[in-house]
Amino acid sequence: MGYMVKSIASLPVNDEIDLYVFTINGNFIGGDYELVTKNFEYLAMQFGDSAAIVKGFDEFFSDELSRRYLGKSIDELWDILPALLITDAHPEQISEESLRLLVPLHHVEEKFASFEIFFKELINFTQTKNPQFLEKFQEKGSWVTDVLNIVDLKPNIFGVGVNINAFVDRLRGKSA
């Protein structure tokens, strides 16, 4: 399933969707973001009815999304944009336990060798919820560590904490 929306408020709540892949873009044109744009319809079709890829029309959507899920503006995340945000929560249903994984597009080929492989594994993850996809982001000393430091993985008073281990554990629990 795929949505193109003007704002988070435009995204309908659908109880059948248990995974969202949001694009976070600071008005980038071309490059890695263009690959996502060109494959948007294909990804939406392959995700099926239980997952959705969501793209906003402008920078406002990306900023609103970043603030809601990550507690940071796109200006604060500029060095890692464009990116995909993978989560199990609709923007109106976020909680402390909501899962979040930020994937900077300029590191996809470093991690997966190609966008084709990344898209294939992402599609598989949306369909099977196999935690092996997430485990690829747990390596220490990689770009993921840098991204996670930017997003701040520790629970805190002012922002949203992210815990990838909990993300993997929760998916394992769901798939067991």
Arithmetic mean of pLDDT over the chain = 82
Rounded-to-integer distance, Cα 10 and Cα 130, Å: 30
31 vs 24: CA distance, rounded Å: 14
Distance CA 2, CA 44 (A): 5
Tell me, yes or no, if the pTM score tops 0.85: no
Q: Could you give the percent of the chain with pLDDT greater than 90?
A: 46
Q: Supply the pLDDT for residue 166.
A: 57
* Interval 108-120 mean pLDDT: 91
For 80-102, write each residue's pLDDT tens digit. Answer: 889 999 999 999 999 988 989 99
DSSP 130: -
More confident residue, 157 or 174: 174
Query: For tokens 């959507």, what's the residue?
Result: 61
Instruction: Let me know if 38 is exposed, middle or buried by CB neighbors in 10 A (0-12, 13-18, 19+).
Output: exposed
How does pLDDT run across 47-59, given as a tens digit for each residue? 999 999 999 888 8
Alpha helical stretches, state H, the chain: 31-38, 40-47, 59-70, 108-112, 115-128, 132-135, 143-151, 164-175
What is residue 4's three-state secondary structure?
A: strand
